[in-house]
Each structure stands twice: as C-alpha cells, then as structure tokens.
Chain A
C-alpha cells in the first residue's frame, strides 16, 4: 500500500538514477583518463560520505570513524588477494569478509556507543577511537598488513578504466538511490525524529539503540564495500584509508555539501576531491588552509551547508528537483480494542517510590495504585514532585529506590521504550515536539511500536485509534496533516501530543498538564476523550493537573502530593472539600492542619 507520495519518491529516484547512470555510461568517452581515474576514487569516497550524511546529517550521530569501515573493506580485499588467493570466488569471499567484519565492528561500536542514556558526545568518542585503534592494528601487522607502507601490486582485475568507472559509478548511484529512498521513507522520518528529540522518540516506544546500531551496521557495510572497490581498483591499500584524518575529512565534505541533504554531500565529496586533485598538487598548504577556513565558516554561519543554496538555484532551472510540499498520508481508524478489565494485577502500582537528586529528595516514599478504568488525578503545588513521579514511572533509570509495576511487571531499570512496550504512554508538559516533522509524520512515528515503519516507502494510510482521531478533530489537527509541527498553535501542539500518546495504544496513560493554556472548548473535548478512554477502553489514566475544576469533572480519585509525599488521597468530593487541600493551595500552614 505504497502512498502517492511514496510513488512520487520512487519516480524521482528512478528518474535521477537513470539520468545519473546514463551520464556515467557515456562520461568516460568525453573525459581524459586522469579525470576518469580521479572520479572513480571520488565515487567510492562519495558512497562513504553518503553514509556519514545518513548517520550525522539525518540521525544526528556525529561520527569520526566512518573511514574505519572503508579501511576494513579495503584491507579485506588487499589481504585476501595478497596472501590467500585471487579469482572470482576469492573476490566474492573477500568482499563478504570485508562486509562481515564491518558489520561486526559496527555492532560492537553500537553496543558501546548507543546504550540507553549514552550522551551523543560519548558516541562521538567511540567513533573517534575506532579509526585510531584500527590504524595502530594495521601498523602492528608487520608484513601481513604491510604496516605503514600498506600493500600494493596484489593481483586484481586489470579491467579498463572505463569498466572501473562504470562499476564505481553504478555502485554510487545504487547506494545513493537506496539512501534517498531510506531518508524519504517513513523510517527515514524516524531517523529525523531521533535527531530532533531523541528522548521524546524513546517515549513513543521507538527502539533508539537498536535503530542506531542497525544504521551503523548498514553504513559500515556500505562503507566496507566501497573500500573494497577502491582497493581493487587502485591496487593499493594504506593505513590512511582507515584513519581518523580521513574520517574528519568526510565530515568536512558532508558539512560543506550540506548535511541532511544526501545529494549535497555526495556531490560535495566528488567536487572537493576532484578539485583537490587538480589544486593540491600545486598549492598543498594553501589548499588545506582554504578548506579549513571554508569549513569553519560553513559550520559557524551556514550550518546547513552549501547544498540548500545551490539546490534552490537549481530548483528554478529543473523543476522536478524542487522539493514539493510533502503529500500527507490519510488517517484511518485503527482497531483498538478496549482492554479487558480482568487483570489480576492493577495496571499501575507504585510502591515506596523514592527519588533523590544529590542531596535533594524530591519524592519520599510514594505509594499509589491505579486500576483499569480509573482516572487518578495528582494535584499539588509547584515543586511537590508531580512531574518527577511521572518520570520515575516511565523511565526505569530515574528513581532512587522503590518499585513500579506495570500490569504486574516490575519495570526494573528499563529504558523508556521498554516501558512503553509494557503499555505506558506518557505526555509531556512542554510542547516541544519534532519541529521539522509534519503532523502526519509525528503520528506515523507514534505508530512505530504498533505498525512499524517501512524502510524504503511511505505509507498511504496511518491507522489511528478512535479516541486519538477525536482529539485530532476537536483541535482541528485533521485539517493540517501536512503542516510542520513547529508552526502549529499551542492548542494544536497539545492536541497532537495527546494524539501521539494515544496512537501508541497504551493501557496506562500518564498525562502531564494536558490542558495547560488551552481554550475552554479544547479542554472540554479533551475531558470527554479522557472520560471515554477510562469508561469505554478501560485505560488507567494518571493526570497531573492544576485546574481543580477540570480535575473535579473527570477524576475517579485524587491524590494530593506535597513536598514529595502523598498528603491525602480520596474521592473528588473528599479532596475538594478538604481543609487541608485548601490550605496547601492557599499556602497556609500545612503541618498544623495535618
């Protein structure tokens, strides 16, 4: 069920790929052998740069180590051909070894760098260490790896330069097309979501670590294959093919070309490498100086690189290249069955929860149980620990002590996405969503846990649970599916937030001030939906709210939190009529009343 927009992407990519292949097919006849040679190498490097752009430009993983995979592929070729054998089977075997080695290394890098809670800086450190370690291994390899001299003149296919040009060109077109489909697919939108707001993506149940590691592995394989081709063509491998300096150079090319545009870095790599070949021979230091200056200027002043500027210019000339406003998928109702209220264990049970930051104890032993079909409101003054309570329930690494059970399962130290998988949905107080994604894309994102996301296509339909659709209609979101969320009104953002959480089909819903700053009509609509979720769908809802009027209308029970502990728990009437609560809210003495 590929969507219209998916078909359009296919058509664009096919058109682009065919054009590029045609150019590549005839180009060698119009170029001198020197330029052809340079371009072959540039093509392989461009394929590598493309993977850097997917990792860094799209997903936000700043990698210094992509060169290592190139080196691994190149050395697989050289080592096998030099020491073991040469022939079609050996070649395939060597390629397979290179790719497998790259996959294994990438998996280790992923395990090290992308665990839950790892800072982006730490991931960069690991990718920085990777080429350094690899190059030292090559140096230490003595005659086997050729040490610093590298290996050369091993048997290889002495095909004509044109043949190599076609192979390299076809490879680049192939991987770039796949890359293009990937970033334009629903899955590609998930990558952007990770870049924009990794934490929020995790709370929508997206397995960040797995996706990043998988992406690293795929990039590693593409890079290794490129390295293999490079080595087979040039007949030379040297440690610098896998070193840190090449790794940083890839970043420079990506930045200059325009990160997050895919085509920019690819063309940038080709352009810069070819220019370097012509200029650096005569002006080696000046060339490096100019590249360095250009790099600093682009990073500081033009973080999106040169591609968008050129792209706009070209867009006027060649209309198909101009980016059309994204065509949106349609919403269709999902079949979300109400939850049977026959659980032995309550959907949410909080047991002696303690949370402490340094010497500041925010929660001091909170107990609460929420049953299916129940809406529990948590009220209390600022700083009472309400939001912290939500955080401790939805991220296993947050609490200091105590236990939290979801559907009877202890959450342990699980990452947000694993708690989402248990059926917990959490909405946030701030309305900071994924600014460059459209409303439809955000919803698709939220459905990842239920429906997955196609890698190379866009869906025509997004399935949404009925209550989520209600919210969308009430806030007018259903009319603006193709709008980027950054430009939505406050009310729409809040509505989208709630719709996204509902799209994950939770059984426990944690809502942090969902109605703050909303109009009366919007509040009423949300109140109705919440009521419906508990009454019809049997959800357990926990609501943080300041507006006692709103709380009174929809709550089954109310918990009053004050200075990190439960001050009072009771029915709506009990709490609202309580002297104690009135005192807390008007700031009068609490201890005396209690």
Chain B
C-alpha cells in the first residue's frame, strides 16, 4: 500500500514537471504547443551531450533549460508569432515543428537509443520498503519547480505582467506592458521547462528521437483538465496520475496507459472548465 502511495506521488510529480511547460504556454499565449514532445526530446539529448562532455549529470537539466529557453525565443519569433489569431493552426504548425525537430535530431544523432548518465542510482530505504532514489529526487525537484513557478507568477513583476496578459491583453497593453515580449519570454520559459523536464526524466528513460512523443498527449490532457493554474495542474496530475497508477496496478497497465486520455475527455465533457481551481 505504501508503495502504491509512493508510485502515485512520484508519477504525479513527473507528470507535473513534464506538463508545466505546456501549461505556461497555454495559459499566457492561449496556444497549444504540439512541439512540446519534441522539446522534451531536445532536453533528453542535452542530457546525452552533457554526459558525453563529461559534465556532472546534475547540470543536465539546468543546461537543457537554458538551451530550451533560447531556442524557444527563436521559435516564437519565426513560427508562433504569426499564428496568435489562429489557435487551431498553431497546433498544426507546432506539430510540424515537432516533426522538423525530430528529423533534425535523427539526422544529427541517428535513430538509435542513446544513454545519459543518471545523477544518482540505487534506492532509499523506508523501513519495510525500499524505493527508487531518483524518483524521490525527481519528486522533490518537481515540487521545487512548482514552488518556483508559483513564486515567479505571484511574486515577480514578470509574473504579474504575464497574469495581466492572461486576464485582459488589451488592457495590459494599454498599461504599457509589451505583451509581445511577455509572450516571447513565456514561450521561452515554457520551452525551457519542457527541455529541463526532458533532461530530468532521461535517467528513467532512453534517449531517442521519439522519446517525447508518448508524453505529449498526456501532458496536453492534464493541462486542459487543470484549467491552467499551477495548483490545479498539481491536483490534476495527482488525480489522473493516481488513477493511472491505480488502474495499472489493479486492472491492467495497458488500460492504465489510456486512463489519462479517457478520463480527461470525460471530465471535460462533464465540466468544460475541468478541475480548474481558479
């Protein structure tokens, strides 16, 4: 039972970390970034390159975040900016962008599975049970990300401006907020978070050109169900991630793999606002 609780909490934490970048972009820009999976992959390859360069694996996520941020800014200018008024087209364009990133990675690194070093291995002992140490660490990092994002959005001027843009963009612009700049930074931030999350989950995964794809749809569902707020994303991750673990454990992991998608679709059908807490 305590293993189940740990499974649920750590799974939720991983889902939260992976989905947070997507949520920020959707929240501020009203735009679904279907290149999110590709960004996760880029993070994985950053971790791989970090390992190759002999740098400590603890630095792979921060490096991925920096790289993702810069790449995100460039991508926002080139691809995303013309599509603000066409949200459905933005989904398609970012999907196409994901294909392009995936193929560039394939042409550069090849199709094969690569390996990135894990910052730590082994298990923590909790009396009767031992549990994967890295999953515990990832959970702590995810909580730290959640706190940092909350601090950013509720404690800084950038966060205030971003929230102002979310609530009423016209008014925000009328108060001297350069909403274009807010959007660019937000996209960079979202991309950076996605890349960092990719690097973060790499020790539990393999690095290959498609590694991010399976996470895309689940993240997408979580973000929509969460109704774009940090606490409700945490809640959605806990509920849907918990349901996934429970179904995988007690019914079948195959159905478990569909749990988030199906559950999210029904939650949104019943209440289009999802689990929104605010």
User: In the complex, is A directly touching B at CB under 8 Å?
Assistant: yes
Residues of A within 8 A of B (CB): 60, 62, 112, 115, 117-122, 124-126, 128-129, 132-133, 136, 139-140, 244, 248, 251-252, 255, 285-286, 288-289, 291-293, 295-296, 299-301, 303
B220, A300: Cβ atoms under 8 Å? no
Please determine whether B262 and A115 come into contact, CB atoms closer than 8 angstroms. Answer: no
Contact indicator A139/B254 (Cβ below 8 Å): yes
Q: B82 — nearest CB in chain A belongs to which residue?
A: A300
The answer to whether B106 and A285 have CB atoms under 8 Å apart is yes
Q: Are B103 and A289 in contact (CB under 8 A)?
A: yes
Tell yes or no: B149 within 8 A of A by CB: no
Contact A140 B254 (CB under 8 A): yes
B264 contacts across to A, CB distance below 8 A: 125
Task: Chain A residues near B258: list those with CB within 8 A.
Answer: 132-133, 136
Please indicate the chain A residues that have their CB under 8 angstroms from the CB of B265 in the complex: 112, 125-126, 129
Instruction: Please give the residue numbers on chain B whose beta carbons come within 8 Å of chain A beta carbons, in ascending order.
Output: 32, 79, 82-83, 86-89, 91-93, 95-97, 99-100, 102-104, 106-107, 217, 220-221, 224, 254, 257-258, 261-262, 264-265, 268-269, 272
Would B272 and A292 count as touching, CB distance under 8 A? no
Partner of A300, one of B32, B83, B104, B272: B83
**CB-defined contacts of A120 to chain B, threshold 8 Å:** 88
Contact A125 B224 (CB under 8 A): yes
A301 and B100 alpha carbons, distance in the complex (Å): 17
A378-B219 Cα distance, complex, nearest whole Å: 48
Q: Known interface pairs A115-B269, A292-B103. Does A133 touch B262 (Cβ–Cβ under 8 Å)?
A: yes
CB of A62 within 8 A of CB of B99, answer no
Q: Name the contact of A299 in the complex, choosing from B92, B262, B268 (C-beta under 8 A).
A: B92
- Name the residue in B79, B89, B99, B106 with the highest tally of chain A Cβ atoms < 10 Å from its Cβ: B99
* Bound Cα distance from A60 to B89, whole angstroms: 11
Given A112-B269, A124-B88, A248-B95, CB of A129 within 8 Å of CB of B261? yes
Given that A125-B268, A289-B104, A292-B103 are known contacts, is A300 also in contact with B217, CB under 8 Å in the complex?
Answer: no
Question: How would you classify the secondary structure of chain A's contact residues: helix, strand, loop or mixed?
Answer: helix
- Is B103 in contact with A132, judged by CB distance below 8 angstroms? no
Instruction: Provide the bound-state CA to CA distance between A301 and B258, in Å.
Output: 36
Query: Which of B82, B96, B258, B261 is the most central at the interface, judged by chain A CB atoms within 10 Å of its CB?
Result: B96
B79, B89, B103, B258: most-surrounded residue (chain A CB, <10 A): B103
Given contacts A292-B102, A299-B89, 9 further A-B contacts (CB under 8 A): A62-B91, A118-B272, A128-B220, A132-B258, A140-B254, A288-B103, A293-B96, A295-B92, A299-B83
Shortest B130–chain A CB gap in Å is 32
On chain B, the residues within 8 Å of A303 by CB distance are 86, 89
Cα–Cα, bound, A62→B34 (Å): 14
Q: Which residues of B contact A132 (CB under 8 A)?
A: 217, 258, 261
Chain B residues with CB below 8 A from A128, complex form: 217, 220
- Report chain A residues within 8 Å CB of B97: 292, 296
In the bound assembly, the distance between CA atoms of A255 and B90 in angstroms comes to 13
Q: Determine if B103 and A285 form an interchain contact, defined as CB atoms under 8 angstroms apart.
A: yes
A133-B262, A285-B107 are known contacts. Are A291 and B99 too (CB-CB below 8 A)?
Answer: yes
Complex partner residue of B93 from A62, A126, A129, A296, CB under 8 angstroms:
A296
In whole Å, how far is A83's beta carbon from the nearest beta carbon of chain B?
22
- In the complex, the answer to whether A125 meets B221 with C-beta atoms within 8 Å is yes
Taking a contact as CB atoms closer than 8 A, the residue among B92, B268, B269 that contacts A255 in the complex is B92
The residue from A117, A118, A292 contacting B100, defined by CB atoms under 8 A apart? A292
